[in-house]
Amino acid sequence: MHAFAHQHPWGELQIVARKSSRSCPGSPEAFQAAYNYPELVAVAEARNAAPAERLASEVAAFALSHEADDLGIASMDPLYVFEGYTIDEPWVIVLALAHNYERLKEVPSDETNGIGVTDIGDQYARGTRASYALANWIRSQGYNASAYPGPSADALLLIPPAIASGLGELGKHGSLINRHFGSGVRLAGVTTDMPLIATAPDRFGADEFCANCQVCTRACPPDAIADQKQLVRGVKRWYVDFDKCIPYFAESASCGICIAECPWTRPDARPKLLATMARRQNLRKAETGGEPEITPEY
């Protein structure tokens, strides 16, 4: 079921990037594990008839005990599916796989140091195992389920359902920022017709913080990250110029500097940032007489 590279809009470029990343020590084995897709089991005839709330909590418990570090559940939107494809299942579960920060911060990788790109491959491999394990568990409960692990995740766009389901906010660098792991997370998807309950979006102040931060815009070697929001397909949001990113990305074994340098990714900085943003937002709420809406949990 996995789409061939030529079917994906950026498939050919990902092949170029893959070639340069494979020259880094450790990377080939890590990515080989990411592309090692287990078999999907047959859908059981007997259905688990528990109510949706119960099924959603069983899904969460299973995923979190099978390598996922966080998850969100969103109802499927055709906007999450690449043009020319269809996904019939009404629910999408997005899994987050956290990077090892000490390893991620070694990016970009080259022939002498493959630590950063190997951690990327390792997290994709965890995403492959976690998404297939969850899809197979759902199938064992009598419902259909498909797995969409990274890097490409086939026909499923991952960041928009991740944001809708509370896994985090969109950062200026175009990637998701999660309250527990910052930008240092990989995503993988599972779609299903098991009745579930959507999880709520999570706003902890990342979008507001980005407005006054320029760490990624300054760190990006080809200057691909716009400092101000732009109108993108009718929505005003952070914008990355991929005509600038892609050549550097392809030559530098997947780059990843923007997510590694983001202050939210640093384990020592993240709790302070969460507390500062919660204080700022709640002060503003108090001034206008509303309920505090941002919690400093991490």
Count of residues interacting with ligand SF4 (CB under 6 A): 24
Q: Is 34 helix (H, G, I), strand (E, B) or coil?
A: helix
Report phi then psi at 46, rounded to 5.
Answer: -85, 130
Residue 209: name its binding partner from ligand B12, ligand SF4, none (Cβ under 5 to 8 Å by kind). Answer: ligand SF4
Which residues from 110-139 bind ligand SF4, rule CB under 6 A? none
Instruction: Indicate the pairing of strand 185-192 with strand 145-148.
Output: antiparallel
Enclosing H/E stretch for 125:
helix 115-140
Which residue from 220, 250, 253, 277 is in contact with ligand SF4, where contact means CB under 6 A? 220
Stretch that binds ligand SF4, among 61-69, 157-165, 189-197, 255-263 (CB under 6 A): 255-263
Write each residue from 37 to 76 as x if it is in contact with ligand B12 (CB under 6 A), else as -, in one continuous string. Answer: ----------------------------------------
Instruction: Indicate the pairing of strand 176-177 with strand 169-170.
Output: antiparallel
Residue 248: name its binding partner from ligand SF4, ligand B12, none (Cβ under 5 to 8 Å by kind). Answer: ligand SF4
Which residues from 224-253 bind ligand SF4, rule CB under 6 A? 224-225, 240, 245, 248-249
- Give me 78's structure tokens: 């055709």
Residue 262: name its binding partner from ligand SF4, ligand B12, none (Cβ under 5 to 8 Å by kind). Answer: ligand SF4
Q: Which residues contact 94 (CB under 8 A, 6 or more apart)?
A: 71, 72, 73, 74, 158, 161, 162, 165, 167, 187, 188, 189
Residue of 209, 180, 205, 201 lying closest to 285 (CA atoms): 205
Stretch that binds ligand B12, among 25-33, 136-144, 158-166, 271-279 (CB under 6 A): 158-166
Distance of CA 108 to the CA centre of its chain: 19
d(CA 111, CA 129): 28
Residue of 209, 175, 189, 183 lying closest to 278 (CA atoms): 209
Task: Decide if residue 161 touches ligand B12 (CB under 6 A).
Answer: no
- Give me 198's structure tokens: 């959507």
d(CA 197, CA 54): 9
Binding site for ligand B12 (CB under 6 A): 10, 13-14, 17, 120, 150-153, 156-160, 163, 170, 173-176, 183, 185-187, 232, 235, 237, 240, 242, 245-246, 249, 254-256, 258-259
Binding site for ligand SF4 (CB under 6 A): 171-173, 209-210, 213, 215-216, 220-222, 224-225, 240, 245, 248-249, 255-258, 262-264
